[in-house]
Amino acid sequence: MPTRSETMRNAFSKTGRNLAVAGLSALLFGATAALAAGPAIPEGTGITSWAENGEGGIYLLQLYEGGVAANQPPMIGEVLSDSNCSPDEDNINHCENEIRFEDGTTLKGINNHRMAVNRCLRRGEKVFVSHLEDGWVLVSTGAE
């Protein structure tokens, strides 16, 4: 029969293991939640989380006004605004961007990204914009 100290040691050991499993579960759940923050990422984009959006100067923008026709070659535009970039609880920023094209038309979209990893689009910056799928465009920096 185990002594009282052995019983206590076993109880603490079990509690420690349970806490470790709970901590690992919370960590994994948190990582999954961070990957899922924001809208679903369109398939075929090559990114798996919004933290990667903007890598190499290529951004996915979720449109809420305007756009680029599916059959149109990339258009050159100028970033007019970058606003409302406060991060959410998963540290994903949902910056609002407006881009004006050379023909005077504009689009407005949300740049879901992690500013600590990839910078925002800059006001006055020239960008290439191309259609990705309904409701989404690809924005590439470096159209100077």
The phi and psi torsions of 50 (rounded to 5 degrees) equal -65, -20
pLDDT in tens, 20-38: 334 433 344 444 444 446 7
Residue 101: half-sphere exposure toward Cβ, Cα within 13 Å: 17
DSSP label of 4: H
Task: Report pTM.
Answer: 0.73
| Cα–Cα separations (whole angstroms), residue 67 to 92, 105, 108, 116, 139 | 23, 9, 8, 27, 11
pLDDT value at residue 8: 40
pLDDT in tens, 49-87: 999 999 999 999 999 999 999 999 999 999 999 999 999
